[in-house]
Amino acid sequence: MKHCHNHGHLKPWNSPCHHVVETLMGVSRTHRMVLERQLNKTGVYRSQHQILMYIADNPNVSQKDIAALHHVSTATIAVSLKKLESGGYIKRVVDQKDNRFNQICITPSGKAVVENSIRCFKETEERMFDGFSPEELGQLDILLGKVRQNLEQMLPEKESEE
C-alpha cells in the first residue's frame, strides 16, 4: 500500500498508516483504562473478572476448562479462583461423577458483580460511540473488520484460530 509510506523520509512513524495505528492503540488503551477503573470498584480485578464472567455463562465449569480457555496452567487459574472464592464470588462443589474434580459455581455476590459489569460495559459502549450515526458505526465496523482480517492473514494458521 503506497499511501502508508513516507517517500523520502526515514521516519516511518510520520506515515498516515502509522498515525492510524497509534490512534487504534490509544483507543484500546483508553477503553481498557476506563473499564478497569469502573470494574476495580467491585473488588474484582481484570483477570479475575474475565474468569467470573465465564463462570456466570458456564455454570459448573471445571478449573481445567477455565485454564484451557485462558491458555494458562490450572495452577495459575487456581490462584485467581482462590481469590474469587475467598471474596465470596464463587464456590467449589465436588463433582458427583468424579470426586477428584470440583465444579465452579457463581454465588449471588458473584452474580451481582457480573450484572454490574454488564451495565458498565453497556454504558461505556454507549458513551464511546456518542454522536455516531448508525451509518458511521456500520462503516467503522466494516473498516476495523478489514484491518483485523489483514492482521489475521499475517498469522500462522494455528495462531489465528485461537
Distances (CA, A) of 25 to 31, 91, 154: 10, 37, 18
**Which pTM value belongs to this model?**
0.74
Residue 128 lies in a domain: yes
User: Is there a domain that residue 46 lies in?
Assistant: yes
> To which residue does cell 477503573 refer?
37
For residue 75, the enclosing domain spans: 13-132
Residue 31 — φ and ψ, nearest 5°? -60, -45
The answer as to whether 60 is a domain residue is yes
Residue 158 inside a domain? The answer is no
> Closest by alpha carbon to 101, among 92, 110, 109?
92
3-state secondary structure of 43: coil
Question: In angstroms, how far is the first alpha carbon of the chain from the final one?
Answer: 28
CATH at 27:
1.10.10.10
Q: Cell 461505556 appears where?
A: 124
Inside any domain, residue 149: no
Whether 141 maps to a domain, the answer reads no
- As for how many domains the chain has, the answer is 1
Is residue 150 in some structural domain?
Answer: no
Cα gap 58→104, rounded to integer Å = 9
Q: What is the pLDDT along the chain (162 residues), one digit of tens a residue?
A: 556 665 555 566 678 888 999 999 999 999 999 998 988 888 888 778 889 999 999 988 988 899 998 899 989 999 999 999 999 999 988 777 766 677 899 999 999 999 999 999 999 999 999 999 999 999 999 999 999 999 999 998 765 455
**Is 143 part of any domain?**
no
